[in-house]
Every structure is written in C-alpha cells, then in structure tokens.
Amino acid sequence: MMSDFMSGWDDWTAAFSDWTDITISELHGLMTGIMTACNAPDAEGWQRVLEELSFDVPNERALELLAEYAEDVSFALKDKDDAYAYEPLVPDDEHELYERVLALKDWAGGYLTGIGVAGITPSKDEEELLRDLAQIAAIRLDDAEEFDGGEEMWLHLFEFARMVPVSLAVRKRCNINELPLIKGLAPTAKTANEIAQDKAAQKTQSLYIDAMHQKQ
C-alpha cells in the first residue's frame, strides 16, 4: 500500500480539514462508487451531488481535489490494466491497525452508497461481491479492541475491497446529470396531474371552438 503522501491521504486530510460530514475515506468510497458507472463531473457537479445528499458544501480547494481524483479514478477504472492499480483511500501502515480498519470500513460504506446513487443493477456475481463488502462496512471496532487476524487479515480485506471497483467498472458510463438524484424535476417542471389538467383544458377549449364554428 502506498504512503500517505503518495496515496493522497495527506492532501485529502488537509483539503477537507474543516469538513466533517463524513470521513475522507467514506467520501473517497462514495466517489469511487459513482465513478464505477459515471463520467467524472467537474467541481460544480460534485457540489450538486453533495448538496443532493444533504451534505454541507466543502471549500473550493476540496471540491477541486475531489474532481481531480474522480477524473483519475474514472479514467483508470475504464481500463482493466489501469484499474488494477486502484486503491481505496486509507492511511498507510505507519498508522495503527484499528485506524486503517475503520477507514476501510468507512470506504466500503461510502462505496456501497455510491453504487446506490449511480443506480447500478449488479449481476449475481457482483451482488455476492457487494454482500461481502457490506460485511466490511459493518465491522465494529473500538479503539481499545484488537482486530481479529491482525495485519494478515487487514491485507486480505484491503485487497478484496480494492478489487470490487475493478470487477464492477466495466460497464457503459453515463453523465452524472442523468442520475435520478441529480435529474429530478426542474423547478418549473409540471407534475403529471398538472400536465393532465392542461390537456383536459386544451381539449375543452378545442371543443368550445368547434362548437362556435358550427353555430356560425
């Protein structure tokens, strides 16, 4: 696993230091899940995604960093060879084991959320992968607890987690603005009832005009 500097952990920690809605690992997982099925948006697009998820808007540098990494992840996951180099954003081996495990847990939860936001319909094999990843997201571990399996188990979980996006990423990409979360109804859009009422009114007006013509 790469160092904090090489992985971007230091950059993310600094950029999102004043944003505490979710952890940077969970945000990285969320971003990766969305990039599994979408083309990378710009900073403004990410701002809209986060707003629709009811998060506060991070600072400009943080949004730019998110957009930059999302573009890299999206590009890498489109190519099987490049995808194998993908890694979840977690602290390096200089950090305590429980810190790394909890970060991977956050990443897994974020990824599953991102998959949901992206509206991906997984195959049976992919469903099994996601169920296993959900077990990582469900890990419960306090600071004072020992992580069963130690470093060997950590490496196994990390390797499994990082391969999930690789396995799911080979699919047609869509524009993020096409997602139901973003698309929604425009402020000026009419509801189905309003459209039906308009059609009824137009039909009534047409009948009225026809009747007037017949009288003439």
d(C-alpha 216, C-alpha 206), whole Å? 16
- Pick the closest to residue 38 from 130, 129, 119 (CA basis): 119
Predicted confidence (pLDDT) per residue in 99-131, tens digit: 999 999 999 999 999 999 998 889 999 999 999
Query: 177 falls in which pLDDT band (50, 70, 90)?
Result: confident
Predicted confidence (pLDDT) per residue in 184-211, tens digit: 634 344 433 444 455 555 544 444 344 4
List the chain domain ranges. 4-184, 188-216
Identify the CATH class of 4-184: mainly alpha
CA 165 to chain CA centroid, nearest Å: 11
**What is the residue-wise DSSP string for 121-152?**
---HHHHHHHHHHHHHHT----TTSPPTTHHH
d(C-alpha 72, C-alpha 8), whole Å? 12
Q: Would you state the structure tokens that stand for residue 1, as one six-digit string?
A: 């696993």
3-state secondary structure of 92: coil
CA 216 to chain CA centroid, nearest Å: 64
d(C-alpha 89, C-alpha 98), whole Å? 15
Predicted local confidence at residue 216, as pLDDT: 45
What is the value of pTM for the model shown?
0.80
Within a 13 Å sphere around the CA of 55, how many CA atoms are in the beta-carbon half? Answer: 18
Counting every residue, how long is the chain? 216
Predicted local confidence at residue 7, as pLDDT: 61
